[in-house]
A and B are shown apart, each in its own frame.
Chain A
Amino acid sequence: EDQVTQSPEALRLQEGESSSLNCSYTVSGLRGLFWYRQDPGKGPEFLFTLYSAGEEKEKERLKATLTKKESFLHITAPKPEDSATYLCAVQDNAGNNRKLIWGLGTSLAVNP
């Protein structure tokens, strides 16, 4: 069964303290892996799409990487405004490929 697991569930960092969030997935064949950021009470904000192992994408303090089994979202020198829930979702080759399979998210808090 297709599955996406994110860890940790929650992470508290000091401003400037770099860290990584993990998204491990089990799908029959990966078409795409998506990272979103969600602030409380708001819709998810698209960050990155990764398609194949070895791919990397960067945006400001965020860098997403992909292997055959997992993706990492690296946060370099985070600021308080990076506090949010980070969601990972995958799209697979089989069956209904219009549906995203979501992880439960990592809640990140960055203290000043």
Chain B
Amino acid sequence: DTEVTQTPKHLVMGMTNKKSLKCEQHMGHRAMYWYKQKAKKPPELMFVYSYEKLSINESVPSRFSPECPNSSLLNLHLHALQPEDSALYLCASSQVAGVYYEQYFGPGTRLTVT
């Protein structure tokens, strides 16, 4: 089963709100990723977790806060976002972080910041 699930599918939030995006995989993968994707652009890496530890932060603003409670779950906590943060947020997982292993993506959360 190569499935990554994400909730919610859609999210509309004001600039003062706090919300969280959730991601889950049951493939036994030990690497999980958050990406941001704008229209007609490829996914842009935000964070990488390897064995539940944050291994890459691509200089993402602190209003995005990732969390990996266990090997199957990944959260992205959102606070005080800006309208330009509106995008499709994608979660992905791979067997391990690094070489050779393809990443499997979830369906994404469409985030609109008003």
CB distance from A40 to the nearest CB of B (A): 9
B106 touches A43 (CB 8 A): yes
In angstroms, Cα B106 to Cα A46, docked, is 11
Partner of B2, one of A34, A46, A102: A46
Range for the number of chain B residues in contact with chain A: 20 to 34
B 1-54 contacts with A by CB, 8 A: 2, 4, 6, 31, 40-43, 45, 48, 50
Do residues A49 and B105 form an inter-chain contact, with CB atoms below 8 A? no
Does A102 lie within 8 Å of B42, measured CB to CB? yes
Q: How far is the CA of A64 from the CA of B51 in the complex (A)?
A: 32
Q: Does A59 contact B (CB under 8 A)?
A: no
Judged by a CB distance under 8 angstroms, whether B97 is at the interface is: yes
Q: List residues of A (45-65) whose CB comes within 8 Å of B's CBs.
A: 45-46, 49, 51
Given A31-B100, A32-B100, A96-B56, the answer on whether A41 and B88 have CB atoms closer than 8 Å is yes
Contact call B43/A44, Cβ cutoff below 8 A = yes
A42 to B88, CA, bound (A): 8
Residues of A within 8 A of B31 (CB): 98
A32, B50: Cα distance in complex, Å: 19
Counting chain A CB atoms within 10 Å of each CB, the highest count among B48, B100, B102, B104 belongs to B102
Within the complex, the shortest CB–CB distance from A8 to chain B, in Å, comes to 14
Pairs A-B, 4 closest by C-beta atoms: A102-B42, A43-B105, A98-B97, A44-B105
Given A91-B100, A98-B31, 17 more pairs with CB closer than 8 A: A31-B100, A32-B102, A34-B102, A41-B108, A43-B6, A43-B92, A43-B106, A45-B105, A46-B102, A46-B103, A96-B56, A98-B50, A98-B97, A99-B45, A99-B48, A100-B103, A102-B43
Q: Which residues of B contact A (CB under 8 A)?
A: 2, 4, 6, 31, 40-43, 45, 48, 50, 55-56, 58, 88, 90, 92, 97-100, 102-108, 110
